[in-house]
Amino acid sequence: MTEGKVPNGFGAAIDFGAGDQSASTSTATSTTATAPTTARLLILGSGPAGLTAAIYAARAGLAPIVIGGYAPGGQLMLTSEVENFPGFPDGIDGPDLMAKMRAQAERFGSTMVDQDVDRVDLSAQPLRVWSARREFQAEAIIVATGASALWLGLESETRLRGRGVSACATCDGFFFKGQEVVVVGGGDTALEEALFLTRFATKVHLVHRRDSFRASKIMISRVEAHPNIQLHMNREVVEVLGERSTEAVLLRDTTGSLSTPERLAVGGLFVAIGHKPNTALLGGALPVDAAGYLQLESDTTASQIDGVFIAGDVHDHRYRQAVTAAGDGCRAALDAERWLAERDASRS
């Protein structure tokens, strides 16, 4: 749960973390300035979904260009001690895992461009993408731009992120065995996270700023009935206390009837107020569901647009795990590869 170094992206040497450097992180430099701008396949995003897609596509000889964002590596760059990614029995730092995935993708001929995509034109072939005023073209695109957890916006929350502050109970709950924790939120996800955390924490404080939850009735009755969940309605977290790790939170009464913030001693704060899928770059070119996540066209990774495929958290709000995103990246690369082969066959 200690924070890894978040790389600075554009044109800079990438340091993906202070841990195991065996994945050639010191040589994994951005090729942004000299990168080619045309490829058969462009991959947007360099989290587990994008990099797994790159490994498969590169091994299939497609030499993909990965436009992976100014913060390459995705959400796992914000955490350490990833203990549930298969193949690492002792766990691995998030940044180290991402450095290994990146090195593996580069080894087979993927080109990395550590910039954000600003806009796209998917209305005709070739598909076009603009990033830092340069135009990239390809026959096929995999969109793997992930989702960003929403945070409370407190300075202390940012400082203690990875040091007791988390946005993922499935990922980090295990680290809070025998401690008291706070969950913030009022929807189904928050209530689910609170219930999940009761497996580890001695007590879960569920904090919601309103007087009623937005969750389903069944979830509400489960949390209300749970002996180890204490509800704090009409309360919001206004400060996370602790120097090296989270020690307590300050709760403010949102009705204004209590003038002094209440101190709650806890070892962890789980922020469960939602995620925002990173789709702005698409400018509405692909359909999204009510929560803003991209929608798949069928049981493959194909989108509504021929040649455009979707992978990872940008469409998946159900599982949201590195291994499921990686699995999706694999599927998208195989789908794109087949689509390109069929296109070749139909043209010959």
For every residue of 112-145, DSSP letters joined together read EE-S---EEE-SSSSEEEEETTEEEEESEEEE--
Residues 6+ apart with CB under 8 A from 209: 186, 234, 235, 236, 254
**Measured distance CA(158)–CA(138) in Å, rounded:** 38
Going by their DSSP bridges, the two strands 308-310 and 275-277 should be labelled as unpaired
**Judged by CB under 6 A, does residue 67 bind ligand FAD?**
yes
Q: How far is the CB of 94 from ligand FAD (least distance, A)?
A: 7
Whether 80 and 1 have beta carbons less than 8 Å apart is answered as yes
**Judged by CB under 6 A, does residue 164 bind ligand FAD?**
no
Mapping DSSP to helix (H, G, I), strand (E, B) and coil, where does residue 288 land? strand
Q: Which of 154, 269, 325, 332 binds ligand FAD (CB under 6 A)?
A: 325
How many chain residues touch ligand FAD (CB under 6 A)?
A: 41
Q: For this structure, is 335 an active site residue?
A: no
User: Given the complex with ligand FAD, which of 95 and 242 has the nearer CB atom?
Assistant: 95
State which of positions 242-301 bind ligand FAD (CB under 6 A).
278, 281
Residue linked to tokens 């798949």: 296
Q: How far is the CB of 281 from ligand FAD (least distance, A)?
A: 4
Q: For this structure, is 168 an active site residue?
A: yes
**Judged by CB under 6 A, does residue 110 bind ligand FAD?**
no
**Measured distance CA(276)–CA(291) in Å, rounded:** 8
**Judged by CB under 6 A, does residue 149 bind ligand FAD?**
yes
Helix spans in the chain (H): 48-59, 94-107, 155-159, 169-172, 188-197, 217-225, 322-347
**Measured distance CA(20)–CA(171) in Å, rounded:** 21
Q: For this structure, is 172 an active site residue?
A: yes
User: Given the complex with ligand FAD, which of 10 and 85 has the nearer CB atom?
Assistant: 85
Q: How far is the CB of 4 from ligand FAD (least distance, A)?
A: 11
Q: How far is the CB of 16 from ligand FAD (least distance, A)?
A: 12
Q: How far is the CB of 134 from ligand FAD (least distance, A)?
A: 13
| Strand order across the beta sheet in which 127-131 lies | 119-121, 127-131, 134-138
Catalytic residue, candidates 114, 172, 316, 335: 172
Q: Which of 28, 49, 101, 336 binds ligand FAD (CB under 6 A)?
A: 49
- x/- track of binding to ligand FAD for residues 205-244 (CB under 6 A): ----------------------------------------
User: Given the complex with ligand FAD, which of 36 and 212 has the nearer CB atom?
Assistant: 36
**Judged by CB under 6 A, does residue 74 bind ligand FAD?**
yes
**Measured distance CA(307)–CA(336) in Å, rounded:** 7
Active site residues: 168, 171-172
